[in-house]
Amino acid sequence: MTEPAEIVVLSGKGGTGKTSVAAAFADLSADAVFCDADVDAANLSLVLSPEELERHPFIASTKAFVDPSKCVECGLCKELCRFDAARPGKIDELSCEGCGLCSRVCPPGAIEMKPVVSGQWFISSTEKGPLVHARLEPGEGNSGRLVALVRQKAREIAKNEARRLIITDGPPGIGCPVIASLSSAKAAVLVAEPSLTAIHDLNRVLSVCEQFGVPAYCVINKYDIHEDNSKQIEDLSGERFRVIGRIPFDEEVPRSMALGIPVTSRGGRAAESIKAIWDEVLGSVAGLPDTS
Ligand code: SF4
Ligand code: SF4
């Protein structure tokens, strides 16, 4: 069975138009599964009008729970908990890091470790193809594991339905979730705006792509709001990455986001640029060796 090729859309920081580009790619695709791996701020579903088919809990950790009726108030848990979460007969769930020590030392066995639900993940259908997305509870960690999970499910669906592509809206930045979004990806499309910090942000995310040997292509969004900075980014195009397109500032982009539809379904200058970029992405990916 042929492995689907995954294209991950990334940005060095949030707010560069990454999701607008990913949603437009989804709209233009013919044979793809979509994956929202930006689990801390999942927005792709807001633009693809999904119909939820499946919903599952995401369980990534355990926490201590105490049965006060069994507690003999020896104070051992309070003494040993390094996170100041345990008190006789009471555990502060927010502070508990789930190390399990208190449950092992509690003399009457009053403390039990229980799995906790950190979020939910979904399989939905959209007009253009299946979407795997997730929602992490506020303040929950483990987003890297949830990213890995939604990507794995998207890959399974792509294989089962013989779809050739996976389009992933990746997390912004360079942290653990980004690392979790890149392994086995065929290519990364980096969305950058021509700001003063863009080159710095781009360099950081490029380093992560290089660690995984994932070829990187750059799209300059709103290139015309600062053409000098855009030119600086284009001048860097070379061995590390290739600039494959520029998207002009276009009011149709925020308007489409507000309406909950991809900009390519409405048309306009930005939509035309993204169509050309998508053709370029498909052409480039077709020429790459298999990284799976
Ligand atoms: S270790 Fe167990 S018995 Fe002792 S105070 Fe903590 S919960 Fe109570
Ligand atoms: S599981 Fe660990 S962190 Fe949580 S209350 Fe017990 S000792 Fe503290």
Identify the band that residue 61 occupies on the pLDDT scale cut at 50, 70 and 90.
confident
Residues 72 and 161 in one domain: no
Residue 277 in any domain: the answer is: yes
Nearest Cα residue to atom 6 of ligand 2 = 102
Rounded-to-integer distance, Cα 46 and Cα 258, Å: 9
Q: What is the model's pLDDT at position 291?
A: 52
Best residue among 81, 90, 106, 114 to mutate for probing ligand 2, ranked by most atoms within 8 Å of CB: 81
Sequence-ordered list of residues with C-beta below 8 angstroms from that of 260, at least 6 positions apart, any chain: 46, 47, 49
Q: How far apart are the CA of 84 and the centre of ligand 2, in A?
A: 8
Higher pLDDT, 83 or 143: 83
Q: Which residues contact ligand 1 via a Cβ below 6 A? A: 66, 71-77, 88-89, 106-108, 110-111
Can you give the pTM of this predicted structure? Answer: 0.88
CATH number of the domain where residue 235 is located: 3.40.50.300
Q: Answer yes or no: are the C-beta atoms of 56 and 135 closer than 8 Å.
A: no
**105 and 233 inside one domain:** no
The larger pLDDT score, comparing residue 105 to residue 142, is at: 105
Please identify, by atom number, the ligand 2 atom nearest to the C-alpha of residue 111: 6
Q: Mutate which of 99, 111, 113 to test ligand 2's pocket (most atoms within 8 Å of Cβ)?
A: 99
Answer whether 83 contacts ligand 2 (Cβ < 6 A).
yes
Last residue of a domain, one of 117, 148, 164: 117
Residue 65 lies in domain: 59-117
Is the predicted pLDDT of residue 200 greater than 90, yes or no? Answer: no
Q: How many domains does the chain have?
A: 2
3-state helix, strand, coil in the chain (%, to 5): 35, 30, 35
User: What are the residue ranges of helices labelled H in the chain?
Assistant: 18-28, 44-48, 76-80, 101-105, 143-160, 176-182, 198-212, 227-236, 252-259, 269-286
Shared domain check, 238 and 153: yes
Assess if residue 254 is contained within a domain.
yes
Q: Is residue 256 part of a domain?
A: yes
Residues 156 and 224 grouped into a single domain? yes
Task: Report the percent of the chain where pLDDT is more than 70.
Answer: 98
For range 217-224, the mean pLDDT: 95
Q: How far are the Cα atoms of 58, 63, 105, 122 from residue 119, in angstroms, in the given order?
A: 5, 15, 30, 10
Closest ligand 2 atom number to CA of residue 86: 5
Judge whether 122 lies within some domain. Answer: no
Distance in Å, CA 134 to ligand 2 centroid: 28
Compute the mean pLDDT over every residue in the chain, rounded to the nearest whole number: 91
- Give yes or no: residues 237 and 258 share one domain: yes
Considering only CA atoms, which residue is closest to atom 3 of ligand 1? 71
What atom of ligand 1 comes closest to residue 66's alpha carbon? 7
Residue written as tokens 């253009």? 128
Say whether both 14 and 156 belong to one domain: yes
> 85 CB less than 6 Å from ligand 2?
yes
Mean pLDDT score, 74-102: 96
Q: Is residue 134 part of a domain?
A: yes
Question: What is the domain-level CATH number for residue 74?
Answer: 3.30.70.20
Max CA distance (Å), the chain: 71
Binding site membership of 96 for ligand 2 (Cβ less than 6 Å): yes
CA of 71 to the centre of ligand 1 (A): 5
> Is 17 in the same domain as 140?
yes
**Atom of ligand 2 at shortest distance to CA of 98?**
1
Query: Do 142 and 239 belong together in one domain?
Result: yes
